[in-house]
Structure 1
Amino acid sequence: MSRLLQALFGRLPIGWLQLSHNRTRFAAALAGVAFANVLVFVQLGIMNSMGAATLRPYDFFQADVMISAGDANALADGGNVARQWLLQAMADPDVADGTGLFIANVPWDRGEKDISLTTFGVDPAKPGFLSAEIAGDIGLLQVQDAAILDRLARGLGKEEAAAIRPQSPLAFETQGRTVTAYATFAGGGGFGGDGYMLVSDQTFLSLFPARASAAPDHILLTLRPGARPEAVIARLKTLISDPSLRIRTYTAAAEDDLRYQQTKRPTGIIFGFGVLIGVLVGLVIVYQVLSTDVADHLREYATFKAMGYGPRFFLGIVFEEALVLGIMGFVPGLIVGTAILTLMGAITTLPLAMTPSMAVSVFLGTVVFSAVSGAIATRRLAAADPADLF
């Protein structure tokens, strides 16, 4: 390590020698930096999983434009939309087709634990609004009380899910009715439910008799080839007489949902503060280590100062220490953080995983906050007068 740093800095690696001289303190400093990295990794992983879980149900459907109630900040939130607006939207020459989408959560008593399934009611006669994985099985929903079940739902065993097929369906009681799953698709547990389920709109209304077929949660529209979504949306806003409706592209609706979850919902704000706290913890730990090291070697630094060495020399030494702490503390933090996220993902079925972008961003952040800590730690040295130290 000494030779590597000497080649890198072109001088004796004073910072490394000072850190490694007291191995116990050095190990404690590395553990502190690693701990801060683990905090940031876990919070970032949860934030990313929340984003992935928020966007995941949008992948189940295909549409160009979505019409929602004015208070529909998320896919499963907000009021209903009158079906009459679907009929008005169909009057636009660039609107090729439209359908209503119903959404609600249904409980499933699994004996030891109840799970909640976010259930979508769709028109089985319109497979074009569904993803390729689901569209192939949509004909099964023409049977009353038939369902397509999320095989990655929390509380559903892998073997039990793998056995679901038209020849060996899975039946269960919910909302006072017997629902039978004839096929599965890949969803996964989220923050609003343990998994997903698709049923026909008629089955959905039988599960929720208080709901009306004339009031879906959202309206999905597909446009003719070559149509400009922005131009169509502008026309729809004048064509549809309810100004409170949110008429957006399907992609914009997903982005708005994600932004709402991350900046308005308490969970997103809490996770964001968790990342900030992890950074502050790392900043304080590195500053404390470097500040203590500067104080312990203040006389030696003062000697260098009296010999004519300038501030850049001392800043270089402290930055060297900060770089060593940041890099060497990052590696165990990455290993432990990856293990924790993998374990949490296996337990919760949330999309928790270490990604290259997370690793790179945390590494760069670690180097930056280590450098900032080093810059703060040298302020005491810059103010020191050699004559006062001897």
Structure 2
Amino acid sequence: MILNIPLAWLQLSRQKSRFLVAVAGIAFIAILIFMQIGFQDALYVSATKLHNNIQGDLFIISTQYKSLTSNQSFSRWRLYQALGFEGVESVSSLYMQFAKLKNPINGLKFPMYVIGFDPVKSIFKIPEVQENFKILQIPNMVLFDRASRQEFGPIAKDFEQGKSVKVEIFGYLAFVGYKVKVGGLFSLGPSFGVDGNLIVSTSTFLAIFPDRPVQNIDIGIIKLKPDANPQQVLANLSAKLPPDVRVVTRQHFITLEKDYWTLRTPIGFMFYLMVLMAFVVGVVVIYQILYSNISTHLAEYATLKAMGFKNKYLLIVVFQQALILGTLGYIPGFAISIGLYDAAKNVTQLPVAMSVEKATLVLVSAISMCLVSGFLSINKLRKIDPADIF
């Protein structure tokens, strides 16, 4: 009958204040991990949102390509060369560059990411762009990203209210702005490198950036014929196009962007470091809790050992305590993190959202922290000798 007594739970709950503090400490660690991986995931999702919304099967980029927000243009002639390969149905070009958009209310200028394409057909999967891209055929008409950050002013709000919205945008090193009219809205959202987006036609893009040569494009988009073998076409293009460009699949394109933010920027490293530090701090905190609990009940453990209970049973009790603390600490941490995710999303406009994968990862991390702490704290229990205690 003794074996059926929930000894681990009784020991933890006997001192309620200490127990609640322990659960709160683990919940805080869980929240820290949730926030770190939440922002890390938002970094990758926001940085690759444009990649996922471009209609194409293969993509041509410069061999100097680092990320979308770094200008690495190449000759548009490479697209025409690709058009001659078997299996290629059509090609499209994409121009991208930062400009400064003038807030119509306070006159301040903020960086805006300008995306230009030939609006003969839509090359974006974004429904609003597919519906309104022909508006861009009118000179100086643009589509404004309604999910852009608030520093650009009430542009989207004014347009939705039926007002005529004109904005002034300044190209690189330009002292005189170029006036454009908002002809529609779309939703793409900011990222860690972009505060807002503007989609324009190629002609409007070149008017905003008059020093930009028309033959220099940033992304080449290749659409394949329905019966084409993507891997075969990819191999042919990679082997025969000049070495100043490379051809990649969508997944490879996305991987390049993620690798850039993970390996080449401080923010990617900091996210991994902070998650690791939170895990280590969690192990230390839980170790102190378990070790203190063992020390407090040392006489009881010695009594059990004198009664014939083996070390294995006593160790199981400690690990049960670790699992109880990890699970109970995770529950409030999870609940609070959902609210913090919503608040962070509203403030930053980043895609910070809870998912099954995040919830599972943090749960496994919390339990792992507790088990590691339990393993570290049982040394004193192994060495206990009832003769020394009594």
Please confirm whether the aligned pair reaches a TM-score higher than 0.5, indicating the same fold. Answer: yes
In structure 2, give the amino acid aligned to 1:106: A
The answer for the alignment partner of 1:115 in structure 2 is 110
In structure 2, give the amino acid aligned to 1:154: R
CA distance, structure 2, for counterparts of residue 273 and residue 283 of structure 1: 15
CA distance, structure 2, for counterparts of residue 387 and residue 10 of structure 1: 23
The answer for the alignment partner of 1:217 in structure 2 is 218
Question: Mapping of 1:148-167 within 5 angstroms?
Answer: 148-155=143-150, 160-164=155-159
The answer for the alignment partner of 1:302 in structure 2 is 302
CA distance, structure 1, for counterparts of residue 154 and residue 178 of structure 2: 25
CA distance, structure 2, for counterparts of residue 324 and residue 187 of structure 1: 43
The answer for the alignment partner of 2:25 in structure 1 is 32
CA distance, structure 2, for counterparts of residue 163 and residue 310 of structure 1: 75
User: Is the contact between residue 128 and residue 185 of structure 2 (CA under 8 Å) also seen in structure 1?
Assistant: no
- Would the alpha carbon gap of residues 333 and 368 (structure 1) be closer, same or farther in structure 2, given more than 3 Å must change? same
The answer for the alignment partner of 1:17 in structure 2 is 10
The answer for the alignment partner of 1:331 in structure 2 is 331
The answer for unaligned runs of 5 or more in structure 1 is 1-5
User: Is the contact between residue 89 and residue 239 of structure 1 (CA under 8 Å) also seen in structure 2?
Assistant: no
Question: Mapping of 1:77-116 within 5 angstroms?
Answer: 77-110=70-103, 111=106, 114-116=109-111
User: Is the contact between residue 51 and residue 253 of structure 2 (CA under 8 Å) also seen in structure 1?
Assistant: no
CA distance, structure 2, for counterparts of residue 113 and residue 62 of structure 1: 35
The answer for unaligned runs of 5 or more in structure 2 is 171-176
CA distance, structure 1, for counterparts of residue 108 and residue 295 of structure 2: 58
- String of CA shifts for 1:311-360, please: whole Å, max 9, x gaps: 22111111121122111111211122222221111111111122222112
Question: Mapping of 1:53-72 within 5 angstroms?
Answer: 53-72=46-65
- Would the alpha carbon gap of residues 98 and 129 (structure 1) be closer, same or farther in structure 2, given more than 3 Å must change? farther
- Would the alpha carbon gap of residues 61 and 156 (structure 1) be closer, same or farther in structure 2, given more than 3 Å must change? farther
User: Is the contact between residue 142 and residue 200 of structure 1 (CA under 8 Å) also seen in structure 2?
Assistant: yes
3-state secondary structure, aligned to 1:251:
helix
The answer for the alignment partner of 1:3 in structure 2 is none
1:382 correspondence with 2:385: no
- Would the alpha carbon gap of residues 103 and 358 (structure 1) be closer, same or farther in structure 2, given more than 3 Å must change? same
User: Is the contact between residue 59 and residue 249 of structure 2 (CA under 8 Å) also seen in structure 1?
Assistant: yes
The answer for the alignment partner of 1:315 in structure 2 is 315
The answer for the alignment partner of 2:173 in structure 1 is none
Cα deviation for residue 156 of structure 1 reads 6.8
- String of CA shifts for 1:205-233, please: whole Å, max 9, x gaps: 11112211101111111111121111111
| Percentage of identical aligned residues | 30
The answer for the alignment partner of 1:186 in structure 2 is 187
Aligned length, in residue pairs: 382
In structure 2, give the amino acid aligned to 1:84: W
- Would the alpha carbon gap of residues 114 and 33 (structure 1) be closer, same or farther in structure 2, given more than 3 Å must change? farther
User: Is the contact between residue 290 and residue 377 of structure 2 (CA under 8 Å) also seen in structure 1?
Assistant: yes
User: Is the contact between residue 81 and residue 219 of structure 1 (CA under 8 Å) also seen in structure 2?
Assistant: no
CA distance, structure 1, for counterparts of residue 107 and residue 370 of structure 2: 48
The answer for the alignment partner of 2:174 in structure 1 is none
Question: Mapping of 1:192-271 within 5 angstroms?
Answer: 192-241=193-242, 243-271=243-271
User: Is the contact between residue 142 and residue 198 of structure 2 (CA under 8 Å) also seen in structure 1?
Assistant: yes
3-state secondary structure, aligned to 1:193:
coil
- Would the alpha carbon gap of residues 42 and 113 (structure 1) be closer, same or farther in structure 2, given more than 3 Å must change? farther
Deviates more, 1:159-168 or 1:148-157: 159-168
Cα deviation for residue 132 of structure 1 reads 4.0
CA distance, structure 1, for counterparts of residue 201 and residue 211 of structure 2: 16
